[in-house]
Amino acid sequence: MRLLLWNERRDFTFTPPSVDEGLETTHPLFRYYKLRRGVTLLVYGTQVRAVQFPSQEDCANADRVYLGGHIYTIPPEDAPVLAAAGFGAYLT
């Protein structure tokens, strides 16, 4: 195991949030069935927007895109922006 020195760069692992959605039905058994869906984060400078179904135009206009359901290694410069927007719990 290698220790980090104080002046070394430390990258972060970021997993975008997800939501559990149920089916729109009146059958009583299906209310227990949930699907986990990823939430995509679009970063515009210091602004972060969470969308569930991003369009290609949204992704093209954003500075950074973090698609839900994926795990990302992000540089330390991006971590404060995500933490300030309320997504600090998803950084490790």
Number of domains in the chain: 1
List the single range of 4-8, 10-14, 64-68 with lowest mean pLDDT.
4-8
Neighbours of 83 (CB within 10 A): 14
Question: What is d(CA 60, CA 18) in angstroms, rounded to the nearest whole number?
Answer: 22
Termini Cα distance of the chain: 18
Token pair of 42 as six digits: 């679009």
Domain contains 5: no
User: Which pLDDT score is estimated for 25?
Assistant: 78
Helix or strand holding residue 14 (H, E) = strand 12-14
Dump pLDDT digits (tens) for 12-58. Answer: 999 999 998 888 777 888 878 888 999 999 999 999 999 999 999 99
8-29 in b/e form (b: 16+ CB < 10 A) is eeeebebbbeeeeeeeeeeeee
Domain span holding position 47: 12-90
Domain contains 7: no
Predicted TM-score (pTM) of the model is 0.79
Token pair of 2 as six digits: 């290698």
User: Which pLDDT score is estimated for 8?
Assistant: 59
Domain contains 1: no
